[in-house]
Structure 1
Amino acid sequence: MKFSLAWLCDHLEGKSSAAEMAQRLTAVGVNVELQETSGDDVVWDVDVTTNRPDAMNHRGLAREAAAAGCGTLKPLAVSVPEGATPVGELARLTVEDEAGCPRYCTRVVRGVKVGPSPAWLATRLERCGIRPINNIVDATNHVLLDVGHPLHAFDLPLLAGSEIRVRRARAGEGLTTLDGVSRTLTPEDLVIADGKRAVAIAGVMGGANTEIGPATRDVLIESAYFAPISVRRTAKRHGVSTEASQRFERGADRAMARTAVDLAAELILRLAGGEVLAGVLDSAPVLPAPRAIEFSLRRLSAFAGCEIPREFVAKVLAALDLAPQVAGDTVTCTVPSHRVDLELPEDLYEEVLRHFGYDNVPSVLPAFAVKPGKRLGTWPLTERARNALVAAGAAEALTYSFSSEELEGATAASALGERGGVVRVENPLSGRLAVLRRSLLAGLVEAAGGNLRRGAERVLLGEVGRVFFARGTEIVEEERLALTLAGTAGPWDVARAADFLDLKGVVEVVLAELGVEAAAWRPSTARLLASGEGAEVLVGDRVVAIAGRLSEPTAEAFDLPAPLWVAEVDLGAVAAERAPSFQLLPRFPAVTADLTVRHGLSLSYAELLGTIRVAASEWLETVSPVVRYRGEGVGAEEVKTTLRLVYRHPERSLTQEEVNAAHFALMDTLARKLAVSFQ
């Protein structure tokens, strides 16, 4: 924001060089970033933080300079010669929405002569980045830059009924603003209207239908205080930002509304002649009581880490117009209306410390007791889940918790994803981040697709994270683990396309690492998975996981270049703590025997394995699948499953005869209990 040094000095008693003043302002947090000479003046570019609207004008910056030791702030003098005619005879004011406009002041100047501004005024405005227009408009802009309060001037005869009404716009009501844009208003927009139509968007921009022009003779000056939220929403809705809206959004000074309209009337009288009508139309002449903030000097010193002299505290706060009252250890400040940023004792601590100088505060390590931290309650579970991913050979991915409605809906179409409604983001950054995920696959499938499109031959990604459901008025979170598998599987020399059994093996490794032993698999009808190529994993009667090939419609939604196998595990359903168990390392060799079982498709691997476990000798240590074959030599409804059985005795070496006897006994039992044959 640009400031004129000569203009700034008009508000100060005492002299300081430009360099000294810039250095002191920067030291107290008002950064003077650039200085350039303009004629006999120096123009500053000052970085004013958004929480300090009071410093976005020359008087406000002069107040900061005075508090920093660069002179004394002059009293603000205003004197308006008034005529005999009361303002109420030529204008009327009605505020229908006091919440949106707590205060509205207006004066009338009649008999003006519109023309170019004098050189001194035009030069001042140009140095601060504002284009001169005419003496009336330039007068309102001068007051804006001088004391920080936005104003607007209306051509009074163009106001129907010479009336000002502050109200909400009517649905579909239109207004062409001063920038020449025709805008359609909504009932959420606060407008300034006359007896028939809207003539300005409150706090944002005036309308072309009451613009000051060469033929203007009577002027109505608006000086109001509009609610910051109302102005912000309206400006954002219409995609417009003005000098006025920027100040109203941050919080204007309600008390300054009357002073600003007087300053504008006085300046217009000097520049354009005419007569100022007697009195001011003011919707709220009685101001709210100023708020008081109380704080402790001892607490201030503790906050700073060093002793802050009470005399210094009182001097700084008085220079900032905070009227400090010191009683023992307690300081009570009365906050002026222009300091909208001061609400807490800590805000006053900052005011004192920035003038004390942060570089004058000694660097002292704070004294505190260090206690062991506590991990989140879900940490053991998620840590085990991540270890399970590593054990399965997956690379861990971290994806967004947000997704688009389309992709989220596609990946949530399963027994795990349909446990609640979708949680929508109220103000999303984009359509791709509009909802919270109900399945980790929303982001993981997209990540897998990106890897495949970049030429990855094998993709095995995993993620551990939270999903979100809307259940009534509550938002429920659940811990999940998800996997994606695509590309090749098997050793490099016999590589083949990954299939369901590869995915099933990975899921079983994960479940085993999580302590799940008695899990059953059954076909799934979830829309997420391709028909006939999906399964659900159950523990008891509860679905704890899903696995299968991604359905064609879902794959097309993600633009996948190859088939993708996916799985998701509900960690909350498998969260039981597993007590660690230990066993001695084997001292004697194992004996391996293969068993090829021919059976119908109706016999599941889980049922076959369970029967073997029950019927086998106590020497049977492990059973693992080797080959599952369907094709030539096998019936259409049959399959050959080759299993590898490992036998071991804990106290001696087994003979081949003992193993053969146990093996054949197992085969006899299987033949009696199941519809199987052996090869």
Structure 2
Amino acid sequence: MLVSYQWLNEFVNLENISAQQLGDKMSVTGIEVEGIEEISAGLKKIVIGFVTETKPHPDSDHLTICQVDLGDEISQIICGAPNIATGQKVIVALPGARIGDNVKIKKGKIRGEVSNGMICALQELGIAENLAPKDFSEGIYVLPEDAPIGMDALEYLGFNDPVIELSITPNRADALSMHGVAYEVAAIYNQEVRFPEVTFSETGEKISDHLSVTVDDEDTLSYNLRIIENVKIAPSPVWLQMRLIKEGIRPINNVVDVTNYVLLEYGQPLHAFDKEHLTTNKIHVRKATAGEKLVTLDGEERELTVADSVITDGDVPVALAGVMGGLDSEITEKTQNVVIEAAVFSSKAVRLTSQRFNLRSESSSRFEKGINVDTVTEALDRAVQLMQQLAGGEILQGTLTGKTLDVNEPIVEVSLGQINQYLGTELTVGDVLQIFAQLQFPTTETNNIFAVTVPLRRWDISIAADLIEEVARIYGYDRLPTTFPKGESTLGALTDHQRFTKEIRHSLNGAGLIEAISYALTTPEKAQQFVFGETKNSQLTKLMWPMSEERSVLRLNLISGLLDDIAYNTARKNKNLAFYEIGRVFVQKNNPLKDLPDEQDHLAIALTGNFGTDTWQEKAEKVDFYTVKGLLERLEEIFGMTNIRLEKTAEINELHPGQSGKIYFGDDLAGIIGKVHPEVAGRYDISDTFVLELSLPVVFAHTEKIHYQAVSKFPTVSRDLALLVGKEVSHQDISALIKEKGPRYLQSVKLFDVYQGKGIGEDQKSLAYSLQFSSSEETLTDEQIEQAVNKIIKALETEFKVVLR
């Protein structure tokens, strides 16, 4: 919210208070001031001149030689503006002047002709291009005939007015108007507000004889109209144009400018219709029908839905309620009779319509945040008053009301004890009554309990805590007593889950992997890749208003994000990559429009190129399925994960059907592992990549706490077994059976060789295992070892028909 200091001074006496002092005071009482600026800052020697004579420049087809009366002299100035003409009052920068962007004006010659200064456009004084009046957007700004020659132009235009920029939080939308800011400043400095009296003359003709209104829309809470006839559309006076420009609004014409002026003054959005385009002399407020169309003031055709509220001329939509008017009924230079609307629309309905059409306006912003329902008709009367003053015209008798909103001022109670307890103060009844009086909140007090009548202009106050906050603001946050916190401090600690994920990071970092952090938002296609378990049956959680289609849904996997990271790095000639990520996926089990998704932690790994580095001791190895499987086994050993097994699968479309598997912990599906399918890798533009993804809640549930176990004092015995088995028998099954049939002192089973080829049948393979036996109680004998090995071999022969080589 931009606040003109001079305009505010009309409502509250700021005679002895500078803009900087006011800004500092407001910042410490709850409304942050982001900055204070003057348009005139850095500008100098700029006056009002009168063009007495013009003639074309002899050596140019677009320059004009002007003789300009500056009050004390006639000076020659060369001007290139297309709208320069004799008899105009203009803005002149004298030699030695400073204009916008700190440009200095000097005497000089332009194509052989002397130029003693510059005739300026508003843009050359620092006004933004989109704020300059359209009539002067491509030329100089022409002043009214009564502008005094030789006067300081900056003073005449009001550019020496400090403009205070307020950062308004959603709960203080009452300060999105000059009246709201005036009440705030009056409370801070214990002053009275002084608003102009709204008076005007009406004709004897009743508005109801010229127009009727019906409201059939539940999202329209109040609807009021007035008519002013025989207006003369013209540019607004300079004071109004400059006031709008300083508030960030472009002047259009006197009627439209008045609606914007009242919007800023009261915070009440208004809309003006050309009555001649309301062909039925009826206003009907209703919901749009599906497929109905409206061309809004920005020239865009909008296809409406049944959720949109529209203003119609009895049949055809002429405005999108609370958001923007229609192009067909806009005010033009031909307009003579004006219908002015002041309404209250549902905040939710306006917000949804505004979002649907990506159409934000000053009106929609205020309706979304809330407006003062107590001054709706007063703002309407203020508008017709100003239109009558600036555009002439006759105001028809009465206000046409289609729907009224009856709201009583709430009474909120708070006790003196509550106030002092919350604020740590020792305020008296008199102190509190004085603060409520400054806020202009009517208050009665009984037995230290205050019954406060809250004006409708402060719709943010509804409970006792709100009143306590008001007391603190006006009393002064800097005056509240300072106390040290009381109570015992507690040491911070990690939960088991936090400690577990921290140890995973430490382990993978130690293995040479780099942690990556990917976007949680992705495309619908990527979100549904590499899914398993709960994520496979999950619905997508879509954003209602995404920044782009690439960031439109919440992810269901981490692998696709890591593949994006690999593609990004590969494109920059980084070929050997080992990434991991611990992040959340978003499982939606219910209605995504009503319910939040379930957030689950996952771990993903992606490897491509070579793993490790070439040194004089070792060589880097090209990653393969067993590399990523080895990282899984590393986690299994470090964290004591139990009952882990891999199951070959071809169900995961994004993984190579011959090199992919599901990871189970017991009977629970915990994740997937394998090589990225060549077609998928091609779409990501990456080479052979191997990935793994685990659901950490499942992993965590199967992780055993590691307990201390003393190293055995007795020697370890190893035995190797070379087994000839069928090609269809998996290592997983062999290993599981060995562990099941082995004795309690069987410590580990490791596969150290796999062979297929010459010397064995085509339907067979050779698996070689190393078995480690160790007891913490005794030295194992050869007889004990032989018995254990024979038992294992017998079980393998029975179960898998193995042949001992």
**TM exceeds 0.5?**
yes
Return the alpha-carbon distance in structure 1 between the equivalents of residues 585 and 299 of structure 2. Answer: 49
1:622 aligned residue: 748
- Pairs within 5 Å for 1:420-499: 420-447=538-565, 449-450=567-568, 459-464=577-582, 467-471=585-589, 480-488=602-610, 493-499=618-624
Return the alpha-carbon distance in structure 1 between the equivalents of residues 785 and 486 of structure 2. Answer: 74
**Deviation (angstroms), 1:287:** 2.3
Q: Number of residues paired by the alignment?
A: 676
CA contact (8 A) 2:4 2:164 kept: no
Q: Deviations over 1:79-133 (max 9, x none)?
A: 2322222211111111121x32211111122233333333433343344343333
Return the alpha-carbon distance in structure 1 between the equivalents of residues 525 and 474 of structure 2. Answer: 55
CA contact (8 A) 2:289 2:306 kept: yes
1:240 aligned residue: 359
**Deviation (angstroms), 1:584:** 3.1
1:631 aligned residue: 757
Distance 1:310 1:443, change over 3 A: farther
* 3-state secondary structure, aligned to 1:209: helix
Return the alpha-carbon distance in structure 2 between the equivalents of residues 649 and 572 of structure 1. Answer: 33
**Deviation (angstroms), 1:258:** 0.7
Partner amino acid, structure 2, of 1:441: I
**Deviation (angstroms), 1:592:** 4.5
Which deviates more from structure 2 when the two are superposed, residues 28-37 or residues 349-358? Answer: 28-37
Q: Is 1:406 aligned to 2:407, yes or no?
A: no
* 3-state secondary structure, aligned to 2:15: coil
2:18 aligned residue: 18
Q: Deviations over 1:615-646 (max 9, x none)?
A: 76887543322222233444332323233344
Return the alpha-carbon distance in structure 2 between the equivalents of residues 48 and 406 of structure 1. Answer: 40
**Deviation (angstroms), 1:280:** 0.9
Distance 1:75 1:433, change over 3 A: closer
Q: Is 1:535 aligned to 2:676, yes or no?
A: no
Q: Is 1:508 aligned to 2:633, yes or no?
A: yes
- Pairs within 5 Å for 1:157-306: 157-285=276-404, 287-306=406-425
Q: Is 1:604 aligned to 2:701, yes or no?
A: no
Return the alpha-carbon distance in structure 2 between the equivalents of residues 621 and 141 of structure 1. Answer: 84
Return the alpha-carbon distance in structure 1 between the equivalents of residues 278 and 13 of structure 2. Answer: 43
Partner amino acid, structure 2, of 1:9: N
Q: Deviations over 1:516-542 (max 9, x none)?
A: 444454422322432232233455655
- Pairs within 5 Å for 1:373-392: 378=497
2:79 aligned residue: none
Return the alpha-carbon distance in structure 2 between the equivalents of residues 620 and 182 of structure 1. Answer: 79
Partner amino acid, structure 2, of 1:94: T
Which deviates more from structure 2 when the two are superposed, residues 215-224 or residues 452-461? Answer: 452-461
Find the partner of 1:39 among 134, 139, 155. Answer: 155
Return the alpha-carbon distance in structure 2 between the equivalents of residues 14 and 164 of structure 1. Answer: 44
TM-score, structure 1 length as denominator?
Answer: 0.87
| Structure 2 residue ranges without an equivalent (≥5) | 41-153
Partner amino acid, structure 2, of 1:149: Q
Distance 1:467 1:43, change over 3 A: closer
1:331 aligned residue: 450
Name the % identity: 30
**Deviation (angstroms), 1:508:** 3.3
Return the alpha-carbon distance in structure 2 between the equivalents of residues 215 and 495 of structure 1. Answer: 82
Find the partner of 2:478 among 352, 359, 364. Answer: 359
**Deviation (angstroms), 1:369:** 4.4
Which deviates more from structure 2 when the two are superposed, residues 239-248 or residues 220-229? Answer: 239-248
Q: Deviations over 1:24-83 (max 9, x none)?
A: 334323426214255164231321404333222322222222111164212552223222
Return the alpha-carbon distance in structure 2 between the equivalents of residues 219 and 49 of structure 1. Answer: 33
Find the partner of 2:197 among 77, 95, 99. Answer: 77
Return the alpha-carbon distance in structure 2 between the equivalents of residues 518 and 118 of structure 1. Answer: 84
Partner amino acid, structure 2, of 1:101: T
Distance 1:416 1:525, change over 3 A: farther
1:562 aligned residue: 688
CA contact (8 A) 2:322 2:345 kept: yes
2:28 aligned residue: 27
2:145 aligned residue: none
CA contact (8 A) 1:191 1:200 kept: yes
TM-score, structure 2 length as denominator?
Answer: 0.74
Return the alpha-carbon distance in structure 2 between the equivalents of residues 568 and 2 of structure 1. Answer: 53
Distance 1:549 1:32, change over 3 A: closer
Return the alpha-carbon distance in structure 2 between the equivalents of residues 139 and 619 of structure 1. Answer: 93
2:108 aligned residue: none
Distance 1:276 1:512, change over 3 A: same
CA contact (8 A) 1:548 1:565 kept: yes
**Deviation (angstroms), 1:259:** 0.4
Which deviates more from structure 2 when the two are superposed, residues 229-238 or residues 549-558? Answer: 549-558
**Deviation (angstroms), 1:557:** 4.3
2:467 aligned residue: 348
Larger RCO (alpha carbons 8 Å, 6+ apart): 1
Which deviates more from structure 2 when the two are superposed, residues 29-38 or residues 244-253? Answer: 29-38
Distance 1:222 1:632, change over 3 A: same
Partner amino acid, structure 1, of 2:609: G
Find the partner of 2:698 among 564, 572, 575. Answer: 572
Return the alpha-carbon distance in structure 2 between the equivalents of residues 664 and 148 of structure 1. Answer: 90
Return the alpha-carbon distance in structure 1 between the equivalents of residues 281 and 572 of structure 2. Answer: 70
| Structure 1 residue ranges without an equivalent (≥5) | none
Q: Deviations over 1:321-361 (max 9, x none)?
A: 32233323322222222223223333322222222222222
**Deviation (angstroms), 1:362:** 3.0
Partner amino acid, structure 1, of 2:300: V
Return the alpha-carbon distance in structure 1 between the equivalents of residues 744 and 541 of structure 2. Answer: 53
Return the alpha-carbon distance in structure 2 between the equivalents of residues 114 and 543 of structure 1. Answer: 75
Partner amino acid, structure 2, of 1:488: N
**Deviation (angstroms), 1:468:** 4.4
Partner amino acid, structure 2, of 1:624: K
Distance 1:335 1:574, change over 3 A: closer
CA contact (8 A) 2:23 2:164 kept: no
Partner amino acid, structure 2, of 1:431: E
Return the alpha-carbon distance in structure 2 between the equivalents of residues 602 and 316 of structure 1. Answer: 87
- Pairs within 5 Å for 1:517-528: 517-527=642-652, 528=654
Return the alpha-carbon distance in structure 1 between the equivalents of residues 673 and 190 of structure 2. Answer: 74
1:418 aligned residue: 536
Return the alpha-carbon distance in structure 2 between the equivalents of residues 416 and 341 of structure 1. Answer: 43
1:116 aligned residue: 235
Distance 1:80 1:667, change over 3 A: closer
* 3-state secondary structure, aligned to 1:525: coil
CA contact (8 A) 2:642 2:703 kept: no
CA contact (8 A) 1:521 1:536 kept: yes
Which deviates more from structure 2 when the two are superposed, residues 578-587 or residues 274-283? Answer: 578-587
Return the alpha-carbon distance in structure 1 between the equivalents of residues 601 and 37 of structure 2. Answer: 57
Find the partner of 1:640 among 749, 761, 766. Answer: 766
Q: Deviations over 1:532-589 (max 9, x none)?
A: 3223345565544443323334434444322314353564377256365544323344
Distance 1:16 1:638, change over 3 A: same
